[in-house]
Amino acid sequence: MSDQTETPTTGDAATGAAESSGETKPPLAVSAQYIKDLSFEAPNTPAVLGRMQRESPEIGINIDVRAAGLQDGVYEVVLHIKSECKIADAVAFIVELSYGGVFTINVPAEQIQPVLLIECPTLLFPFARNIVADATRDGGFPPLMLGPVDFISMYRNQLQKQQEAAAESSGSAAGAESSGGDGADKAD
């Protein structure tokens, strides 16, 4: 018998039991990937196709990431991509994709949010990018090849906005208390 005891370095008791039995769980595992929603519209074809030969299109792209817990340690992450291509005032196409994945995450609690909003969408993005390119090509347009996305910057921007909103909220609450509780700004 040994006097040494094993102490789990991360996770809960189940993780500790798995580690002591020699089984290690990966910090991130992809269980499934799927298209939740895909929409392609080309409302002004065929007229817009001729205009695309003469005029440069303007393409707007919006990317959003959402995550939700499914069960203990298992999460769904959905990458929402919307792109609208216009030529002057005419819409050439609109493509919208919600591409999801189910992930099992075995990291300390303070690291879950960055993993969900940085690592998981980074794994999903190449597949979503391909689907968007195929949809626009199959719709009769050149494939829309999305460039790399900096999910780290997106995450940092989101944190900054949350901190600013919290500061505003606490600042306006303090202001409401000092102005008699009505919260209205008074002009002099």
User: Quick check: is 171 in a domain?
Assistant: no
pLDDT tens digits, one per residue of 141-155: 999 999 999 999 999
The angle, 0 to 180 degrees and rounded to 10, between the axes of the packed helices 120-138 and 151-178 is: 110
Is the per-residue pLDDT at 176 higher than 90? no
Q: 18 pLDDT band (50/70/90 cuts)?
A: very low
Place of tokens 């689907």: 131
Is the per-residue pLDDT at 64 higher than 60? yes
User: Quick check: is 106 in a domain?
Assistant: yes
User: Quick check: is 145 in a domain?
Assistant: yes
Identity of the highest mean pLDDT range in 7-11, 62-66, 165-169: 62-66
Is the per-residue pLDDT at 7 higher than 90? no
| Side chain identity, residue 176 | A
Q: Find the range with the poorest average confidence among 1-5, 46-50, 167-171.
A: 1-5
The residue-averaged pLDDT of 106-133 equals 96
Considering its fold, how many domains does the chain have in total?
Answer: 1
Strands 28-41 and 90-105: antiparallel
Cβ atoms of 96 and 39 within 8 Å: the answer is yes
Is the per-residue pLDDT at 80 higher than 70? yes
What's the pTM?
0.76
User: Quick check: is 179 in a domain?
Assistant: no
pLDDT tens digits, one per residue of 90-109: 999 999 999 999 999 999 99
User: Quick check: is 187 in a domain?
Assistant: no
Cβ atoms of 105 and 28 within 8 Å: the answer is yes
CA-closest candidate to residue 119, choices 67, 43, 72: 67
User: Quick check: is 159 in a domain?
Assistant: yes
Does 97 or 174 have the greater pLDDT score? 97
Residue numbers of the domain that contains 58: 25-166
User: Quick check: is 30 in a domain?
Assistant: yes
User: Quick check: is 4 in a domain?
Assistant: no
Q: Which helix (H) or strand (E) holds 165?
A: helix 151-178
CATH number, domain containing residue 133: 3.10.420.10
CA–CA distances in Å: residue 106 to residues 27, 28, 38, 165: 4, 6, 31, 30
